[in-house]
Structure 1
Amino acid sequence: MDQPVRTCVGCRRRSSQSELIRLVARPGTVEVLVDRRRSLPGRGAYVHPDPACTELAVRRRAIGRALRLEGVDPTQVSDLLASLTDPQQASPTWSGSGGTA
């Protein structure tokens, strides 16, 4: 069976879903979380775990647009994505169960 294909909101390249990080908004807020298990409800935004892609996604404010949210804090998203690409700064949302902190 083929893997689902998604588009990275940073570089806009298509990749298999397993190669991308899924981001969702915490219900009722504009806080962005990592959905490690890809099981949280709601719209998802996908980004490569490459610092260049994550920086581009934050700079273009593409994550908020993909999640259809206004008021997403670019600093929170930037910090979250930086912690994913730097193992020394492991975020609880990345290592936690299902992306909930």
Structure 2
Amino acid sequence: MARSRRVVIRMCVGCRRRRPTSELIRLAAYDGDVHLRAGHGRGAWLCSDSRRCAEETFRGGRLSKALRIPIPPARLARLKDSFGV
């Protein structure tokens, strides 16, 4: 009997929808900075196919709240550029 693979579900910080991790991008906080697609540290998830989700994530401190760290404006601007927001 073949075992089925478990699908891991996470919630997008922007739209608050639950999706499989294969459809999301992980942002992680460690060493006092935010890293894309990092493997360790406190994480937040963002829809990979939605610009609206990225806009919502970077507005109003949602990312900072999800990662539980203050994000400097310069670093936030670089993250926005990497998502095309």
TM-score by shorter chain over 0.5: yes
- What is the alpha-carbon distance in structure 2 between the residues aligned to residue 79 and residue 51 of structure 1? 15
- What is the alpha-carbon distance in structure 1 between the residues aligned to residue 16 and residue 73 of structure 2? 19
TM-score scaled by structure 2? 0.77
Higher RCO structure, 1 or 2 (CA under 8 Å, sep 6+)? 1
Q: How many angstroms does 1:23 deviate by?
A: 0.3
- What is the alpha-carbon distance in structure 2 between the residues aligned to residue 22 and residue 32 of structure 1? 10
Question: RMSD across aligned C-alpha pairs, in angstroms?
Answer: 2.1
Partner residue of 1:83? 82
Q: How many angstroms does 1:81 deviate by?
A: 4.2
- Residue 22 of structure 2 aligns with an amino acid whose one-letter code is S
- Residue 61 of structure 1 aligns with an amino acid whose one-letter code is G
Q: How many angstroms does 1:25 deviate by?
A: 1.7
Partner residue of 2:35? 33
Partner residue of 1:22? 26
Q: How many angstroms does 1:84 deviate by?
A: 3.8
**Which protein shows a greater Rg?**
2
CA contact (8 A) 2:30 2:42 kept: no
TM-score scaled by structure 1? 0.67
CA contact (8 A) 2:11 2:19 kept: yes
Distance 1:81 1:22, change over 3 A: farther
Q: What fraction of aligned residue pairs are identical, expressed as a percent?
A: 36
Question: How many residues are matched?
Answer: 80
